[in-house]
Copies of this chain bind each other. A is one copy, B any other.
Amino acid sequence: MCSVPRSTSVSLCQGVMEGLLTRCRALAACSRQLSGSIPCRFHHCAPGRGKRLVLSRMFQPQNLREDQVPSLEGGSGDLTCKSQRLMLQVGLIHPASPGCYHLLPYTVRALEKLVRVIDQEMRAIGGQKVSMPSLSPAELWRATNRWDLMGKELLRLRDRHGKEYCLGPTHEEAVTALVASQKTLSYKQLPFLLYQVTRKFRDEPRPRFGLLRGREFYMKDMYTFDSSPEAARQTYGLVCDAYSSLFARLGLPCVKVQAGVGSIGGTTSHEFQLPADVGEDQFAVCPSCSFSANVETLDLSQTNCPACQGPLTETKGIEVGHTFYLGTKYSSVFNAQFTNVHGKPSLAEMGCYGLGVTRILAAAIEVLSTEDCLRWPGLLAPYQVCLIPPKKGSKEEVAAELAGHLYDHITEAVPQLRGEVLLDDRTHLTIGNRLKDANKFGYPFVIIAGKRALEAPAHYEVWCQNTGEVVFLTKEGVVGLLSQVQVV
């Protein structure tokens, strides 16, 4: 099948290949042993020990003590919310263009943890991960008429041949065409739950609030294909439950509310709303029964609950998830069929489900943080532990070595914390100043080797950010406490 012209170098090439493959396998066999002997320019290394991650080498473009926070969206402070301000201030994000941000190392760590939690929840309900191109051909969108309907929200471009594309803000068309291409699908194979976590693009008229409303952002989008409306409803419920489980694990009190279907379409839709002042949605909940709805779906005159007639209360929310029961809206356009139990072709019943991945991160910071200090869902904190050794030249300086040993001991005794413990080696600063920074960053655990580290046995001061407790513990006590920490 390979129609590439075979050159005279073929047999040579194969001879070279064999020799190389042999050498390469030998190399592979010893690369494991070698990987411990990488030069130590980037870490503090204790001889015979693992590497220590040190704060002074982190790339964080903002100076913690500078008030000047970069903004491309108007002057400083304008249009800025708490999460955006804090994230810019401590160097989690950096503006690239309106609505587009560089995600800096701490944020990438948190984001990757969030994606792992999402993967766990999606896999648990049978989700299969795919990755669809961002470049989405115009003809797909013309088929559903959304090339026109989406208007200015679509970012459009032409390739060198003049062919039109948009940058996908969502992928109903693409995934339905993909499933439609599978010509021998049987009802026995369904449901399919296909999802991806990729960058999406939307030309927002007014991008704002940092990662809460950007033009380029990460979204988890899932598309489901079922063999009957009943099965599709069951799948819809299953995905909604997975979303509830996800938000519960993150400690985010999201509310599932009935919602409109917008440009996506379909017949049933729900939003997952995280109550917050800066939220751009308004939703109503009934304190007496389980009713809740985006106010867009209610009559303006409706102040009482349609279910129990009790008074409704309104709250602002950030939409962090959205689910749609689509029926055959897209499968009928692209002819996404399967063979049903009677041997007849039948259109797949679809659903689609979105999670704003970068938005969840910012929304969590928005609701969990104080005005001055970042707080993370425990599972998503970029580093679980910050260890502060004494100041250089202070009375406690001799405890510096103990702090190093404690670092090594933690990462040996608590394997899930490998790569999760940061040493604040800026020992020209006082413990107090570094504790203030650590508090601002929101590490779930801050451990200080101070005065009481000189006692026998040494005691370390442990700040548990998420409970507000401060305790003094021995090395064993520290390990006992930290071995409880869940890391994803």
Contact = CB atoms under 8 A, between A and B. Distances in A.
A35 B157 contact: no
Interface SS, A side? mixed
Contact of A157 (B108, B136, B137, B155): B155
A100 interface: yes
Contacts of A174: 96, 102
Contact of A35 (B136, B245, B247, B419): B245
Given A2-B81, A128-B58, A189-B57, A248 B12 contact: no
Given A79-B3, A215-B135, A126 B41 contact: yes
Contacts of A484: none
| Copies, count | 2
A128 B167 CA distance: 28
Contacts of A276: 13
A97 interface: yes
A289 interface: no
Contact of A249 (B31, B167, B313): B31
Contacts of A471: none
A387 to B, nearest CB: 19
Interface residues on A, range: 35 or more
B1 A77 contact: yes
A125 B253 contact: no
A216 to B, nearest CB: 5
A126 B77 contact: no
Given A35-B124, A124-B35, A194-B59, A181 B94 contact: yes
A23 interface: yes
A39 interface: yes
